[in-house]
Amino acid sequence: MRRIFDAHTHIMPLYNVGRRDPAVNAEYKAYGKVVYSGQYVFRAMPDIVADSRFPMESLIEVMDNAGVERAVIQQTESKRMNVEILSAVEEYPGRLKGAVTVRPNEPGCVEELRLYASLGLSVIKLITAEAMGIKGAYSALHFDQEPFLGVWRTAQELKMSVAVDPGAVGNPGYRAEEWRRVARMFPDLHIIFCHMAFPDPDLTVKGKELYRYVLDTLKLPNVWMDLAAVQTFNKSEMYPYPWAVSAVRRVMDECGPEKLLWATDIPSTLVDCTYRQMIGIYECSEAFTEEEKDMLFFKNACRAYRWPE
| 167 is a domain residue | yes
The mean pLDDT value of the chain amounts to 93
In this predicted model, what pLDDT tens digit does every residue of 267-291 receive, in sequence order?
A: 999 999 999 999 999 999 999 999 9
**Band (130; pLDDT cuts 50, 70, 90):** confident
Q: What is the mean pLDDT of residues 233-237?
A: 95
Q: Are 33 and 88 in a shared domain?
A: no
pLDDT at site 137: 66
DSSP state letters, 123-157: EEEEE--SSSSSTTTTTT--TTSTTHHHHHHHHHH
Q: Based on the domain organization, do 34 and 72 belong to the same domain?
A: no
Q: Is residue 107 part of a domain?
A: yes
Of 195, 198, 191, 194, residue with least CA distance to 217: 191
> Which CATH number do you get for residue 209?
3.20.20.140
> Which of 94-108, 131-145, 155-169 is predicted least confidently?
131-145
Confidence of residue 41 (pLDDT cuts 50, 70, 90): confident
Question: Helix, strand, or coil here: 298?
Answer: helix
| 135 band by pLDDT with thresholds 50, 70 and 90 | low
Residues 40 and 162 in one domain: no
Evaluate if residue 21 carries a pLDDT over 80.
Answer: no
pLDDT above 90: residue 74: yes
Radius of gyration of the chain (CA): 18
In the chain, how long is the greatest CA-to-CA distance? 51
What does the pLDDT read at residue 136? 60
User: Does residue 31 sit in the same domain as residue 122?
Assistant: no
Kindly tell me if the per-residue pLDDT of 301 is higher than 70.
yes
Domain that holds residue 237: 5-14+54-304
Lowest mean pLDDT among 131-140, 225-234, 265-274: 131-140
Q: Within this chain, do residues 47 and 162 fall inside the same structural domain, yes or no?
A: no
Mean pLDDT confidence for 70-83: 88
Structural domain count, the chain = 2
Global pTM reads 0.95
The answer, yes or no, to whether residue 131 has pLDDT greater than 70, is: no
pLDDT band per the 50, 70, 90 thresholds, residue 36: confident
DSSP annotation of 252 reads H
